[in-house]
Each structure stands twice: as structure tokens, then as C-alpha cells.
Chain A
Amino acid sequence: MLEIENITAGYGGLTALSDVSVSVGKGEFVAIVGPNGAGKTTLFKTISGVVPLRSGRITFEGRDLSSYSAWQRAHFGLAHVPEGRQVFATLTVQENLEMGAYTDEGQRRRSEISDMILELFPILAERRSQLAGTLSGGQQQMLAIGRGLASAPRLLMLDEPSMGLAPAVADMIFERIIDIRDKAGLSVLLVEQRVADALQSCDRGYVLETGRVVLQGRHETLLKDERVRQAYLGM
């Protein structure tokens, strides 16, 4: 469904990704792990078109994304839940979700998806008319995920959903992500710092280090691999 072939990308003089290949199959849960600065967020931004591609190819459901600008890609069924939540702070919770449903597909299936989101995160229903900027970190993360789901995507990309959250809240968010995978039948591409959680729940994983894929495989193999630990701790 998503096919990333030998891409190179970066900002200014920096090359953040070199020769990275990643693929996500239909209904698959793929995790990308790796230490800070490995290029995970850049990979996501390259997929959604915010960071330009220098070489290589990204196709989504057979369509070459490089000829489409970032905002168009959202309409193809690609939802990017960015690092650090990035909710629309000055809009209400309700309006944030409406903006999530900006795509045609999201419009069409609005009520059905809205029910699903509120079932996953009941707190969002309670806070419906509150400004998103006044929510707690965990609630904002739920809203960000809800906003991503509202577009009725076929691939949900989650960038560090547990970052900066208290451990209990992060656990809860993580459980919900697994629910989403199980119930909604979406493909999920996850970047996560909590390596063990990510690797345990995914089907396949990639380990990124200084802009390259250093290791990939099924989750049970990666979990055993000593090199994952080395990538993070250096020894």
C-alpha cells in the first residue's frame, strides 16, 4: 500500500535520510524505532510532502506521490498525526475534528467516524466546545489522533504519540492505538520512542540510525536483537 524506495531527503545542507526503503502492506502495523535524530520525523514529513524528496520514490496505493503537494496527499487517504500533537489550539475540540474531516471521504463518513472517535476517546465528547489549546497534553494527543482518524484514512501515521506524556497516560494512548488497528482495520505506521511497546504490538519494524535503516524484520526477531539496544545506548 505504501512503498518507499531508496529515498534521500533533508533540510538545507543536512541530509537527514539516505537511501531509506520502507513498505507498509494493507492492514499492516509497522513500527519505526531509533534514537533521537535518526530521521524518523523527517521520514514522516517526506511521506506527507512537507520535506522535499531529493531522490527515490514514494508510492501510495500505486500512485506516485512526488507530483502531488502536501495538502493533496491528505485527500488520498493518508493521515499524519504529527509529533508534539499540533492541534489547532485556537479552535474548539469539535472544530478540530471537523477540520480533520476536511477530506471528501471524511465528509461522507462523518457521523460514522465521529461515533468511533468519541467511543475511543469519550473525554473528547465532554470537552467538545472547549478550545483545544486548553486541554491537557494527553487529551491533546487523543484529539490529534481523533483528528487524523476523522479524515477516514487508509493509512494512519503516528509520530511519537507518547512523547512528553506521563507514563500512565502514554500506556492508555498506546492501548487505544492497538484498538484502532484491531477495530478500524487501518494500516498503521508508527514512530515511537517506547521501543518495546512499539515492537511488541507491530507486525514488522525498522530500526533507523543516523538516517539509514540499520535493521528490519518481524517484531519477534527485532525484540531479541541486541543491536536495537546498541542503537539507543551506544554500547
Chain B
Amino acid sequence: MGTVAIVTENILQAMAAGLLIGCIYGLMCAGLGVIFGVMRVINFAQGDFMMLGMYVAYYFVTSFGILAIMGPYAGPIAGALVAGPVLFVLGVVLHKYLVTRVTGIRVAGLEGEGHFAQLILTLGIALVLSNGGLILFGSEPVSIRTPLSRTAWELGPLMGDAVSIFVNKARFVGAIVSILIAGALYLFITKVRFGKALRAAADNPQSATYVGIDVEKAHRVAFGLGVAITGIAGGLVASYYPFQPYVGIEFVIVMYAGVVLGGMGSIIGAFWGGLTIGLVQQMSTLILPTQLQNTAIFVVFLLVVFIRPEGFFGRSAERT
């Protein structure tokens, strides 16, 4: 094989991996995007909700013999999907009893800016979840091992016989599920009446109240939904990536980088942002050592924040 072929293969391989991982990242970003878009709350605990999604999927798949019953394709998918409702309930409960205490009118009277109370509250939740996770699940890294985790489809050979791309099956399945769920989310917020009401509540809470939308409830559902979607994404990640209870922090920055890149407040933009981050992460392995993968994400994130904080994918009117 010539050098050109090797370089091409590496680039294509990284791109393929980036696209697949990017779709899953896109889904987790969309989850965070729902929360930020509707409530304007920065949720530091999002990564830890994702971690919970991973463990829900893990325990569901490993403890009931699901893998044997449903097979290596449907099993992990079912695990990830189960994480959705579980986290939805958790999100709704946490919102009802904790998050509402620091959002809305109560905060307006406090000295300094109200949103710091939200940041700090979610930081507290993050600490409790990640360390509570350590207590419950232990520090040993686990993952949902299926034959798919380690096998790949070969695309090619291309360019004569020189180039072949290997597509990891678990990631591929995860990417497809991510696209489907992101698509469903898109349909929900653009076609379904309650989904549109969520956007209306995000856009102008006071006007939403005037037309009869229960904004408090909209926020609660958005929080639950956002947490659930990220939890599902976590369940999908769990099928190809070993994790432990502190894994959340690795992904918090991935998610915020995606959301900022997509234009804070734009739910669909967040998906594209996450996809881009996945690509950046995988492409960076071509020139950077693997330990610096995440540093590449930070650099992209900081660049976006400094150069174009309004993001790249949002519609302009969405930010007025």
C-alpha cells in the first residue's frame, strides 16, 4: 500500500468513526439543547444523567438475560430505550422539587444574577449523582459487551484494493437509533401541539401564559425530556464504550461544546453541533495523541465561545 492510500484510509476511517459517534453525540446534545432552549438553565448535571442512562441500560441488558432473548442488535437498543422513561421520571421529580426552587420569580429578587443559583444547584446534583453512582455501582469500568462491540463491517475495498473502511457495528446501530430519535424529537417540536407549546414557552414565557400554556409544566416536561434523551444517548454509548460513575464530566464538555456550536437555544442546531464535535474528536486523532482528543474538543469549544458565541447552526431569528 502506498502512503497516499494509507493517509486516505486513515482519513476516511476517522471520518466514518466521527460521523457515527457524532450522531450519538448529536443526540446527547439535542437532549441538553431541549433543556437549555426551553428553560435557559445550564445543567451541569447533564453528564451525570447520561451516566445514569448508561447504568440503566447496562443493568437492564445484563441482569435479565435480555441479550440472550433479544439478540445483540435489539438487546442494547432496548436497554438504551428503557433508560429514557426512567430518566424522564427522575428529571421531572428533580425539577419539581429542586430545580423550580431556583428558577422563575423566586430568583429574580436575589442579589447577583439568578442563573448562578441554577448553575450551583445543578453542580450539587452532579456531585451527588456521580459520587452516589460510585457508591451504588462501584468504580470498576463496565460496558455492555456484545459481539457487535468488537466487530465491524468492511466498506470497500475502495480505490482499487488499497483502501478499506471498517464500520464498528455497535456504533453504527447507535448512530441509526440516534438519528431516529432526533428525528422524532424534531417532529415532536415542530408538528405536535404540545411540542410547539414547549417552543412557545421557551420563546416568550409571558406570552405563552397569556395564550393559556402552563409554562411551569412545559419546563418540567422539557427538563424530563432533555434528561431522557441524553440518557438514551448514554445507553447507546454504553454499548461501545467502557464507563464508570465519573464518566459524566467527560461528556459535559462534549455536550456544551455541541450546544454552543449549534447556537445556544436551538434544539436542532444542537444535534448538528454534536455531530461536528464527534467529527472533530475523531479527526483530531489523525494528528494528536489520543489523550488530547478531549483537549481538541475544548479548543473548539473555546474558539466558538470567543469567535462566534451565537453558534453556527441556529436560525438567526431564534436568537432575537
Contact = CB atoms under 8 A, between A and B. Distances in A.
Interface string B175-216: 000000000000000000100110110111011111111110
A91 B200 contact: yes
A8 interface: no
Contact of A90 (B210, B211, B318): B318
A158 to B, nearest CB: 12
Interface string B279-320: 000000000000000000000000000000000000101101
B112 interface: no
B160 interface: no
Contacts of B318: 90
A95 B199 CA distance: 10
Contacts of A88: 199-200, 203-204, 207-208
Contacts of A102: 193, 197, 211-213
Contacts of A81: 210
A187 interface: no
Interface residues of A, number: 32
B213 A90 contact: no
Interface residues of B, number: 23
B211 A86 contact: no
A50 B206 CA distance: 8
Main SS class of interface, B: helix
Interface stretch (A32-40, A71-79, A166-174, A193-201): A71-79
Given A91-B199, A99-B197, A74 B209 contact: yes
Contacts of A80: 210
Contacts, number: 84
Contact of B214 (A12, A71, A133, A148): A71
B212 A151 contact: yes
A98 B214 CA distance: 16
B109 interface: yes
A82 B211 contact: no
B317 A134 contact: yes
Nearest to B202: A90
A50 B209 contact: yes
A47 B199 CA distance: 25
B203 A91 contact: yes
Contacts of A103: 211-212
A70 B206 CA distance: 9
A70 B209 contact: yes
A81 B213 CA distance: 15
A53 to B, nearest CB: 15
Contacts of A79: 210
A74 B197 CA distance: 14
A147 B211 contact: yes
Nearest to A135: B317
Interface string A79-113: 11110001111110001001110110000000000
Nearest to A131: B317
Given A88-B199, A91-B196, A131 B315 contact: yes
Interface of A: 12, 48-50, 69-72, 74-75, 79-82, 86-91, 95, 98-100, 102-103, 131, 133-134, 147-148, 151
9 contacts: A48-B210, A49-B209, A74-B209, A79-B210, A88-B199, A99-B208, A103-B211, A133-B317, A151-B212
Given A74-B211, A88-B208, A102-B213, 18 more contacts: A12-B109, A48-B209, A49-B209, A50-B206, A70-B209, A71-B213, A72-B214, A74-B209, A81-B210, A86-B207, A88-B199, A89-B320, A91-B200, A98-B196, A99-B213, A131-B317, A147-B211, A148-B210
Q: Report, nearest first, the 4 A-B pairs whose CB atoms are least far apart.
A: A74-B212, A133-B317, A88-B203, A131-B317
